[in-house]
Amino acid sequence: MAEINYAGEFIVSECILCTVGGLELDLTEQVASIAIFEDIFQNSITGNISFVDTNNLTANASIIGQEKLKLILVTPNADDRTDREMAINFSDTPLHVYQVASTVNINDRTKVFTLQFTTGEMIRNNNIRVAQAYEGEPAKEIITKVLRDPELLNSKKEFYYEETTNLFKFIAPNMRPFDFINKVGQRCLSKEYNFSPTFLFYETIKGYFFRTVDSMMDRKNPRMVFREVTPNEDVDNVGLNLTNILDYEQLNSTDTLFNKRSGMYSSKLTLLDVYNKHYEIFEHDYLKEFPNEIHADEFNNYGSSQSPIVSEVSDDYGSKISEYPDSKHYVQMIERDTVGGLLNPAYEGKSIDYTGTDLWLQKRRSRYAAIEGGISLRLKVNGNTTLQAGDLIGVVLKNQTDAESAQDPYLTGRYIVRKLRHQFEKGAGQMKHTLHIECIRDTVQKAYPSSGVAAADGGNGKEEVIPRGSADPGNVIF
């Protein structure tokens, strides 16, 4: 049984490069560094790996960017498990090298070369297109078929999905598979989370996921809780160091102007039915919809009331920030003869659901804008191979201004891992694994004040015509 000796320890259990010449090169001992990138807004993982080369492998083994990489990376654990739940395992489903990124000469006999890689599904996605009809429940009957079809993505990886309420019929018009899956996903409504239209299709080191933002936040306990530990605490405690925040920064603060233009706070959708010469208007209000959605603080023990990331204060015109639907206006032309009204949620007499933008567009755009404009942190922590993008984590940061309060009242809380970079490096006598996490939360522990802004717009509304030429009739001095 392997026992972890220090926080961030890892083992390269397997690293075999399969070349176009039929060779299988065991480069386990030559690994210098590895980086693996995950993102809930990206369909596949990517990464790079660097090797110390004393045998001129790039030339002698014809390494040209069309190789496959069998890779197993393990955080030491009690039962030496190397399955995907505990390890990064790409032995049965090798990574695909697509570029020799760089070669750096160290001395006359040694160089370091770096390979860029992605997964086989991404390579297939760029090789083929989908041009056929699909019908059924999207997760099980459409996306699964595209993912598993030997003529399409031919994926053998785990697929974790959330069921929808929909029954669709789509014709893929000669699209790349991932583009088609994304188009299907944006029209899906969640079966479990109040018809949420926030489905994402993404890959992590554990497999593929098709789920809503709401399902990511619907977790009673975070996967891990990371804390800002003071230097004089028990630094030799491996368990403590695994959850210690090595460094952090707040990435962005709320940009209300951008959020207004993006449709986060409010928007208007006008559907024009040219067949029946009729139109319908839909308005979205972020503050009204907020209680109907699952947020990062759905479950917690620090007493948050799930407060939105904006104040509900009224402005000088007596309106809240979410009461201006004209700040973002969508217009769609539709042409169909509907029975029972323009926006019947299903075609009457048919089993196929209506896919109109009125069911998903505004809520989806608003929720994603809230992710972009929410509280965002970048953390550096000691690595482990169980964490992945889409996980819910806890973050505890010290209060920098109030000595009586142990925690920062706004930054401490539960976050969704949006992006994740696994960084593995060999050097200074240690194998060191660090995680670089970009995480977001769309709520605050304590609601922002809403009693009002003291200053009101004023000034002197003076109008004056600008005269032609100089206002002084005197002589020109220059």
Q: What is the pLDDT of residues 61-78, one digit of tens each?
A: 999 999 999 999 998 875
Q: Is the dihedral of CA 82, 86, 92, 93 positive or negative?
A: negative
Structure tokens at 292: 């109907």
pTM of this structure: 0.90
Confidence (pLDDT) at 27: 94
Per-residue pLDDT band at 405 (split at 50, 70, 90): low
Please state, for a pLDDT cut of 90, what percent of the chain lies above it.
Answer: 56
Q: What is the mean pLDDT of residues 309-314?
A: 88
Confidence (pLDDT) at 346: 45
Q: What is the mean pLDDT of residues 231-254?
A: 78
Confidence (pLDDT) at 458: 77
Structure tokens at 290: 């907020």
Mean pLDDT is lowest, of 221-230, 293-302, 350-359, 410-419, for 350-359
Per-residue pLDDT band at 276 (split at 50, 70, 90): confident
Between 424 and 58, residue with greater pLDDT: 424
Whether 281 shows a pLDDT value over 70: the answer reads yes
Q: What is the mean pLDDT of residues 138-166?
A: 96
Q: What are phi and psi of 333, to 5 degrees?
A: -90, 130
Q: What is the mean pLDDT of residues 387-411?
A: 82
Confidence (pLDDT) at 342: 45
Structure tokens at 438: 């970009």
Confidence (pLDDT) at 249: 93
Q: What is the mean pLDDT of residues 252-269?
A: 89
Between 401 and 286, residue with greater pLDDT: 286
Within 8 A by CB and 6+ apart from 262, the residues are 328, 365, 369, 372, 373
Max Cα-Cα span within the chain: 96
Confidence (pLDDT) at 424: 95
Per-residue pLDDT band at 297 (split at 50, 70, 90): confident
Whether 450 shows a pLDDT value over 90: the answer reads no
Confidence (pLDDT) at 345: 47
Neighbours of 405 (CB within 10 A): 11
Whether 348 shows a pLDDT value over 80: the answer reads no
DSSP, collapsed to helix, strand or coil, labels residue 241 as helix
Confidence (pLDDT) at 181: 97
Segment 11-26, tens digit of pLDDT: 999 999 999 999 999 9
How many whole angstroms from its chain centre is CA 332?
A: 28
pLDDT averaged over every residue in the chain: 87
| Cα Rg of the chain, angstroms | 27
Confidence (pLDDT) at 274: 78
12 neighbors 31 (Cβ within 8 angstroms): yes
How many whole angstroms from its chain centre is CA 455?
A: 39
Confidence (pLDDT) at 78: 56
Whether 403 shows a pLDDT value over 60: the answer reads no
Helix (H) or strand (E) holding 59: helix 57-60
